[in-house]
């Protein structure tokens, strides 16, 4: 497991990849403008395009990448997140380790709720699993919100979302 800070300005030069995360980042910025530190927990090698897309959409925000190779790395990842204290965690939908719907994502969502850090997603599965908000290709372009998860982490439910 490795922790990396991504040079957002460099990756922001790839706007053509940002489409999957544009709406999610816009929802984060609108609902919680003070939240500028985003964390991603994923298998970096297998989620490189998604990480680049998120970085492209998140221009001006700070992104922390926690690289995990398997579920056995999730405990260490949580330790890293606890030490770095991100404002929000974004699930990478297709990640083979901590993607939406995976047991590792459930573990991450539950632990982040305990630390009062909202988790966001781009799929309906992520929101049903406990992410506070989900918007993107996996939601049909609709913003889905989880009011119970928002209450658990102490954040406002983004306006205009469909509750799940």
Q: Is residue 109 in a domain?
A: yes
Q: What is the CATH number of the domain that holds 121?
A: 3.40.50.2300
112 within some domain: yes
Q: Domain tally for the chain?
A: 1
Give the Å distances, CA to CA, from 12 to 55, 65, 113. Answer: 6, 15, 29
Q: How many CB atoms lie within 10 A of CB 71?
A: 13
Rounded CA-CA distance 94/102 in Å is 10
Weakest-pLDDT range from 9-23, 47-61, 109-123: 9-23
**Residue 15 reports pLDDT greater than 50:** no
- Does 164 map to a domain? no
pLDDT at 55 over 50: yes
Q: Which range of residues forms the domain containing residue 73?
A: 2-159
> Of 13-22, 105-114, 115-124, which gets the smallest average pLDDT?
13-22
For residue 117 the two structure tokens come to 């850090």
User: What integer is the mean pLDDT of 117-124?
Assistant: 96
Q: What is the spatial distance between Cα 96 and Cα 115, in angstroms, rounded to a whole number?
A: 24
Beta-strand pair 119-123/144-145: unpaired
């Amino acid at each position: 497991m490795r922790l990396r800070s991504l040079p957002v300005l460099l990756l922001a030069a790839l706007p053509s990849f940002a489409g999957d995360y544009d709406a999610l980042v816009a929802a984060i910025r609108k609902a919680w403008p003070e939240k500028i530190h985003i964390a991603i927990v994923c298998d970096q090698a297998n989620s490189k395009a998604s990480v680049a897309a998120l970085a492209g959409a998140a221009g001006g925000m700070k992104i922390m990448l926690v690289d995990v190779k398997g579920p056995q790395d999730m405990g260490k990842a949580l330790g890293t997140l606890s030490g770095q204290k991100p404002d929000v965690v974004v699930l990478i939908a297709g990640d083979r380790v901590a993607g939406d719907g995976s047991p590792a994502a459930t573990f991450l969502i539950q632990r982040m709720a305990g630390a009062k850090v909202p988790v966001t997603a781009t799929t309906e599965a992520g929101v049903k699993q406990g992410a506070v908000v989900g918007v993107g290709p996996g939601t049909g372009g609709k913003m889905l919100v989880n009011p119970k998860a928002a209450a658990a982490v102490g954040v406002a439910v983004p306006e205009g979302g469909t509750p799940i």
